[in-house]
Amino acid sequence: MAEKMQLNEVEVWDGNLAAAQALRQAQVDVVAAYPITPSTPIVENYGYFVANGYVDGEYVMVESEHAAMSACVGAAAAGGRVATATSSQGFMLMIEVLYQASGMRVPLVLTVANRAVASPLNVRGDHGDMYAGRDSGWVQMDAFNAQEAYDLTLCAFKIGEDMRVRLPVMVHQDGFLTSHTAQNVHPLQDDEAYKFVGDYKPYEEMLDFSKPVTYGAQTEEDWHFEHKARQHKALFDSAAVIDEVFEEFKKLTGREYKRVESYMMEDAEVAIVALGTTVETARVAAEELRKEEGIKAGVVAPRVFRPFPFNEIRDALANVKAVAVLDRSAPMGAMGALFNEISAAMYTTPNRPLITNFIYGLGGRDFPVSEAKRIFKEQKAHADAGYITTPIQQFSGVRGPKLGFFETKRS
């Protein structure tokens, strides 16, 4: 029996420790890991918990991130509650196996401290790795601070292990800005956290020799399409389960989560859509602009990136005139990934707001409140003019000549 850890009502944790504590409280059976900055403390702390008897689990060190995810898939298929962590290049090395995990419908949890993808080498945070996994078939949730990293990791187990879902789940947090920033976190006590997550219920585990099963079978054109269609449907259907889990968590803790988080959007005419810690920066900017200049600014943030909440995004932005979508990733010859998602959702609505794309914060570049204000004001100018008055895509905060692409042409 694992020893319980007495926690204070308020702990000072960074995002990494918050995620690790959630793994401990969920009593994860296996963590297979290969360390990489800035996610290393997540698995390092789990190893500490195992060594000191706080969790009845196995910490398996492997030779690469590809091996780590492979071991996790095997352990999950064998009937265990499984998790790991990674970032950046490690995430990229896992990608092949990410598709295996979701295709095999194993409900393991991956905690990701988002970091820029080389080259050039950079250990600071942006969202290149998050976007790289968007088509891998995993549920993807995004934490904006350490409290949310803890809460969403607990929720991830309950969501992925639900028999109506049975899919792996990623929980993202910004590298260093969240992963290494100490904040007040209100944890659950061990008993109530484990009761919320619940006992693990194996399903068609490979080690049940009385009921042989096959994982990763070859299908070709005769059944591959049907498998992928069912997996796609299962991912979209998980939205209802996510809502249920969030509602149950709210009743337990008073902390409310939604698949799309809206802030000051009731009367907003202009909005910023963003992910990660930038959401909190944009909220401060919106508050200040409303007080200082009367600009009706609001912020929309997809809490759940997959399954993508199309209807909820459309509802959140239904009445705005201009939207700035912020992508913390280099799109390399295209519009930003989040911009494309938001644009696709809004294109099917009667009200099509003016939408522009800002590439920002690459490699951990700071995104200050002053820049968020500037972007809001630019959206107000678009709304007043009735058309986009600047290039549709801009690089925000880059040194040197101002970079803008896809000039608006008016007839």
Q: Which two tokens stand for residue 14?
A: 């960074």
In this prediction, the residues of the chain whose per-residue pLDDT falls under 50 are 411
Instruction: Round to the nearest angstrom and report the end-to-end CA distance of the chain.
Output: 73
Prediction pTM value: 0.97
For residues 115 and 37, is the Cβ–Cβ distance under 8 A?
Answer: yes
The residue among 156, 254, 255, 253 whose CA lies nearest residue 198 is 156
Report the C-alpha gap between 196 and 347 in whole angstroms. 39
Other C-beta atoms lying within 10 Å of the C-beta of residue 166? 16
Residue intervals of the chain classified under CATH 3.40.50.920 are: 261-405
φ, ψ of residue 245 in degrees (nearest 5): -65, -45
Q: Which homologous superfamily is 11-253 in?
A: Thiamin diphosphate (ThDP)-binding fold, Pyr/PP domains (3.40.50.970)
List, in order, residues 6 or more apart from 257 with CB less than 8 Å away: 148, 151, 152, 155, 246, 249, 250, 303
For residues 317 and 302, is the Cβ–Cβ distance under 8 A?
Answer: no
For residues 86 and 173, is the Cβ–Cβ distance under 8 A?
Answer: no
For residues 34 and 67, is the Cβ–Cβ distance under 8 A?
Answer: yes
CA–CA–CA angle 15, 307, 112 (5° rounding): 25
261-405 CATH fold: Rossmann fold (3.40.50)
Three-state SS sequence of the chain = CCCCCCCCCCEEECHHHHHHHHHHHCCCCEEEECCCCCCHHHHHHHHHHHHCCCCCCEEEECCCHHHHHHHHHHHHHCCCCEEEEECHHHHHHHHHHHHHHHHCCCCCEEEEEECCCCCCCCCCCCCHHHHHCCCCCCEEEECCCHHHHHHHHHHHHHHHHCCCCCCCEEEEEECCCCCCCCEEECCCCHHHHHHHHCCCCCCCCCCCCCCCCCCCCCCHHHHHHHHHHHHHHHHHHHHHHHHHHHHHHHHHHCCCCCCEEEECCCCCCEEEECCCCHHHHHHHHHHHHHHHHCCCEEEEEECEEECCCHHHHHHHCCCCCEEEEEECCCCCCCCCHHHHHHHHHHHCCCCCCEEEEEEECHHHCCCCHHHHHHHHHHHHHHHHHCCCCCCCEEEECCCCCCCEECCCCCC
Residue intervals of the chain classified under CATH 3.40.50.970 are: 11-253
pLDDT at 290: 98
Report the C-alpha gap between 168 and 116 in whole angstroms. 23
322-327 vs 270-273, strand pairing mode:
parallel
Q: Which two tokens stand for residue 111?
A: 């905690």
Report the C-alpha gap between 73 and 59 in whole angstroms. 14
What Å distances lie between residue 98 and 226, 275, 394, CA to CA?
A: 19, 22, 32
Report the C-alpha gap between 298 and 264 in whole angstroms. 5
Other C-beta atoms lying within 10 Å of the C-beta of residue 227? 13
**Residue given tokens 């929980």 in the structure block:** 171
**Residue given tokens 């209807």 in the structure block:** 311
pLDDT at 410: 61
pLDDT at 1: 67
Report the C-alpha gap between 250 and 84 in whole angstroms. 26
List, in order, residues 6 or more apart from 10 with CB less than 8 Å away: 184, 185, 186
